[in-house]
A and B are shown apart, each in its own frame.
Chain A
Amino acid sequence: MQAETVTRSRTEVADRTVEPLIAARDLVLVRNGRVVLDHVTLAVGPGEIVTLVGPNGAGKTTLVRVLLGLVPPDSGTVHRRPGLTVGYAPQRLEIDPALPLTVARFLTLARPAGREELGERLAEVGLPPCLDRQIGALSGGEFHRLLLARALLRDPDLLVLDEPLTGVDLAGQAELYRLITEVRDRRRCGVLLVSHDLHLVLAATDRVVCLEGRVCCAGTPVDVAHDPAFQRLFGTEFADAFAPYRHHHRGRDA
């Protein structure tokens, strides 16, 4: 059964000969009588950045949680490469204020590390040296950078980032996308990204999967931007932006 899953997902990502890091096939999830995931098939390979886009309530976060094994699907399979290390930055994480926690202690929960290394990771995601600050004293944007730092500290084979840049200003976002791309290049890890900020994301992505309960279209950013299903959700401006396939900085997300 498992072996079959693997071979089938190999054909699914036909352009790669390597085994995908994570491969989901035919995921179905029904909640309160609503079909949240409708036969979703998706794979992320090593060194590949895959971005999930879709309107609110499209099931993006749910799909991520199923892929991570946090929620069992009603049907379908998720195959993870054995021994896969995942670095995960959730969209939201509430830490009870009754729990005193410094930035350093929060990071070392992911993996024991010396202060010097921790400091380097903070600098990498653009945080000031704040190892001894309490988590609760960080701003929303700072906290999301910290979640990214923690995910990176795990030295992951697969980075899963759910709206990682919530609260980060635009300049910071561009910088962090560069960092994500750079980490991918350096470590050949796979990246699964959920995002709203289409302009920035599409430029830094290998493959886009547009989700609306089911996968309504998937492919390179250029292909997806010209897909009628995508244009119905997000309009045609991205197709214009990608016509010459270069980076545009006008406007905010759709």
Chain B
Amino acid sequence: MLRAAAAGLLFALAAGPLGAFVVWRRMAYFGEALAHSVLLGVAAGFLLGLAPGLAVLPFMLGFAFLLLLLERQRLVPVDTLLAVLAHGALAAGVILMSLLGGVRTDLLGYLFGDVLAVGDGDIAVLVLIAVTVGGLLARFWPPLLSATVSEELAAVEGVPVRRMRLLLVLLLALVVAAGMRVVGMLLVMALLVVPAATARRFAHTPETMALLAAAIGGLGVLAGLAGAWQFDLPAGPAIAVVTVGLFFASLPAGLAPAGGGRP
């Protein structure tokens, strides 16, 4: 349980601030496409005889880079292209996993996470990812923010906007890979997008929004795990449900759908 809390918090810390960029730059669908490809990465890792937690990282980075390159084409709209690739990667991943055997037992864990089963190795990978993501975001915060407010102004002012876009996409790939163990590939974007969206209402600057998102994500992880423990629920979905509940609770009363409220 302690390991699960540590893993969840590490993930939330990295996902919060990065999730703010996902919201600002409207990269949610890009993130979903990445998340859908996780299974393919895991299967590729099995084929090569590597531990799934490690094999998935280079695969995700490569897939992210590929998506970024393909975004430049103009034959189909970008979101359409992302949908094509996301579902192609998901289907191919499931097929590959079934060919490798052991799908029935593992698939749910990849789809919805298995945070209660994380080991020390997983924690080490999560620490590495959280430190990398947090460190790089802090190091490049001014140019990242500048390029997010306006790529055009930033470019004129000498910010390498393309490299900033690449950096964000690679960090997103890392965090999506990290989230696979915690909330699963189908719910990972929830922990990127929802805490940031919740933080928006309380923040007056980008910095406070990023930090608040990390805090709200952390709160969602702890409360979700507590609920899962208490009521014997699946942990990943419990975390996601609490986080979404926090979002609706933060909406001004007039915007909240009737009956929508606290979990």
Contact = CB atoms under 8 A, between A and B. Distances in A.
A134 B204 CA distance: 7
Given A105-B206, A109-B142, A110-B157, A98 B152 contact: no
A100 B208 contact: yes
Contact of B204 (A96, A98, A102): A102
A110 B24 CA distance: 19
Interface string B132-148: 00000000001001101
B152 A96 contact: no
Q: Which 4 A-B pairs have the closest CB atoms?
A: A88-B156, A100-B203, A99-B24, A109-B146
Main secondary structure of the interface of B (DSSP, over half): helix
A105 B204 CA distance: 10
Nearest to A105: B205
Contacts of B23: 98
A99 B155 contact: no
B149 A100 contact: no
Interface of A: 68-70, 86, 88, 90, 93, 95-96, 98-102, 105-106, 109-110, 132, 134, 154, 160
B87 interface: no
B142 A98 contact: no
Nearest to B151: A70
A178 B197 CA distance: 43
Counting chain B CB atoms within 10 Å of each CB, the highest count among A86, A101, A110 belongs to A101
A93 B153 CA distance: 9
Nearest to A68: B156
Contacts of A109: 142, 145-146, 149, 153
A109 B145 CA distance: 8
Nearest to B202: A100
B152 A101 contact: no
9 contacts: A88-B156, A88-B157, A95-B149, A96-B25, A99-B149, A105-B205, A109-B142, A109-B145, A134-B204
Contacts of A70: 152, 155-156
Contacts of B26: 96
Interface string B174-192: 0000000000000000000
B200 interface: yes
Nearest to A93: B150
Contacts of A98: 23-24, 197, 200
A99 B20 CA distance: 8
A100 B205 contact: yes
Given A69-B156, A70-B152, 13 more contacts: A86-B156, A88-B153, A90-B153, A93-B150, A95-B150, A98-B24, A98-B200, A99-B206, A101-B149, A102-B204, A102-B205, A109-B146, A109-B149
Contact of A69 (B145, B155, B209): B155
B143 to A, nearest CB: 10
A158 to B, nearest CB: 10
A100 B150 contact: no
Contacts of B153: 88, 90, 93, 109-110
Interface string B182-223: 000000000000000100100111101100000000000000
Contacts of B208: 100
Contacts of B156: 68-70, 86, 88, 160
A100 B206 contact: yes
Interface in B149-180: 149-150, 152-153, 155-157
Nearest to B24: A99
Interface in B13-29: 23-26
